[in-house]
Amino acid sequence: MQTAFEKFGEDKRHHIINNFTAAAIEACGPAYHQEFIRDLLILLKTKKNWSMARHCYAPYYPDKTRNGSILWEEIMLHGDSSGYYIPKEESSLVFRCRELLSHLFPTLEPHGLMIGPGSAWARLAKEIPALRSMGVVNASAWDLNPKFADGAAEDIGRELQIPVQAIVGDFTKPLPDKIRLPETRPIVATMFGSTITQFSLLDQKNGNSPSLCGFLNNLHNVTYGNSFILATIDSNLDTERSLDCYRGRHFRTWQNWLWDFTAYMTGDNRFNPRSIEYFPKVDPETRAVIHSHIVMENTRIRINNECFRLKKGDLLEIGISQKYTPEEIKAAASHCDWEEIAVLRDNGSVRLLLYMDKHMSKEWATRVKSALKRAPANMLG
């Protein structure tokens, strides 16, 4: 068997010995490792990097029973009992919209593009019912976590008996090389679990992450202007209750885990992951929940022979959960050439939004819009 040094070549040897553990690089691959370190450096230098939150889902950790993806699965399965109410509300909303979806899409024989499909529970409760109702003839599962992308491709391919490709990569960036979506059929992109709310509406508030417009422009490019988006948002503006859902026991454990992962990825044994704790707060101006972490005692992290000191009381902002109102998201989407064509709602605060690229083929656009007009009122929620 090749050692890590042989695998990555003699030229990388010096780099590995000096800085990081070969085991971590071997577990996640050099490209992901580099991306993590780049994001961590930005966070340590500027105290804010909203791209960092995605690493909480990372499945690469020596203790396989306790890695980011497994902890996330736990939130999805048991979260309701700890006050994390969105998954349950969302799945019942998707379930109730099946009839409408089967009225709008099957004659178009669309391609289903799952954006951030996530855990096995989410696939079962949301992606499978939605994609089945829309009559998709093939699909792709796009997630930066290979476990989630591969898991969705396997489960959905088996359940719906259609070809499904896994796309492992960042959905805010162009598609990875060699992956192409079908140009000759409409694409319905599903985005559940409030994934869309990780984008800020405004660029300047967004640190190093892309804004909603950046994401929508990217989606426009990779889908050739042929896509619809079916996304859920939690528009509950009661910040007390919103924040409560992020105080859930599981969620806290999951966020704190990022620092165990950091110790593993940097190979810095002297960094104490327990010295930093999840400390969510609400931005009063935008009502967004900022996923910040507070330094509880002085510590430091060494990367590339550079030492970053963290002082007691420092705040590190790693992500955002935006609370959009449907009106706000409509205005922002319209600005980047997406048209809202339907908003479906539950009894509380979760909304299912249907958007269409304004560059959509006229034929497909007309068919979906006229089917919407003909839809019985009880289907529209």
Ligand X SMILES: C[S@@+](CC[C@H](N)C(=O)[O-])C[C@H]1O[C@@H](n2cnc3c(N)ncnc32)[C@H](O)[C@@H]1O
Residues lying near ligand X in the complex (CB under 6 A) are found at 54, 57, 76, 116-119, 122, 126, 143-145, 148, 170-172, 192-195
Q: What does each C-alpha distance from 221 to 175, 183, 247 come to in angstroms?
A: 9, 11, 37
Kindly tell me which of 123 and 293 has the beta carbon lying closer to ligand X: 123
Element (H, E) at 36: helix 30-46
Q: How far is the CB of 326 from ligand X (least distance, A)?
A: 19
Kindly tell me which of 118 and 280 has the beta carbon lying closer to ligand X: 118
Report the C-alpha gap between 300 and 303 in whole angstroms.
10
Q: How far is the CB of 167 from ligand X (least distance, A)?
A: 9
Kindly tell me which of 93 and 365 has the beta carbon lying closer to ligand X: 93
Biggest CA–CA distance in the chain, Å, is: 67
Kindly tell me which of 194 and 226 has the beta carbon lying closer to ligand X: 194
- Whose CA is closest to 209, among 357, 43, 355? 43
Measured in degrees and rounded to the nearest 5, phi and psi for residue 114 equal -85, 120
Q: How far is the CB of 241 from ligand X (least distance, A)?
A: 18
Helices (H) and strands (E) in the chain, counts: 15, 13
**Buried b or exposed e, range 313-324, using 16+ CB within 10 angstroms:** ebebbbbbbbbb
Kindly tell me which of 129 and 193 has the beta carbon lying closer to ligand X: 193
HSE-CB of 155 using CA atoms within 13 angstroms:
23
Contact in structure between 276 and 296 (CB atoms under 8 Å): yes
Q: How far is the CB of 370 from ligand X (least distance, A)?
A: 30
Q: How far is the CB of 253 from ligand X (least distance, A)?
A: 16
Question: How many residues in total does the chain contain?
Answer: 381
Q: How far is the CB of 10 from ligand X (least distance, A)?
A: 33
Q: How far is the CB of 132 from ligand X (least distance, A)?
A: 16
- Show the CA angle centred on residue 163, arms to residues 233 and 76, nearest 5°: 35
Kindly tell me which of 80 and 339 has the beta carbon lying closer to ligand X: 80
Kindly tell me which of 192 and 261 has the beta carbon lying closer to ligand X: 192
Q: How far is the CB of 116 from ligand X (least distance, A)?
A: 2
Kindly tell me which of 21 and 91 has the beta carbon lying closer to ligand X: 91
Is residue 56 helix, strand or coil? Answer: helix
Q: What are the tokens at 50?
A: 């909203």
Q: How far is the CB of 209 from ligand X (least distance, A)?
A: 8
Kindly tell me which of 134 and 301 has the beta carbon lying closer to ligand X: 134
User: Which residues, 6+ apart, have CB-to-CB distance to 19 below 8 Å?
Assistant: 266, 267, 303, 304, 305
User: Which residues, 6+ apart, have CB-to-CB distance to 156 below 8 Å?
Assistant: 112, 114, 123, 127, 128, 131, 139, 141, 162, 164
- Whose CA is closest to 134, among 88, 165, 101? 101
Amino acid identity for residue 276 in this structure:
I
Contact in structure between 58 and 24 (CB atoms under 8 Å): no
Q: How far is the CB of 245 from ligand X (least distance, A)?
A: 12
Kindly tell me which of 79 and 135 has the beta carbon lying closer to ligand X: 79
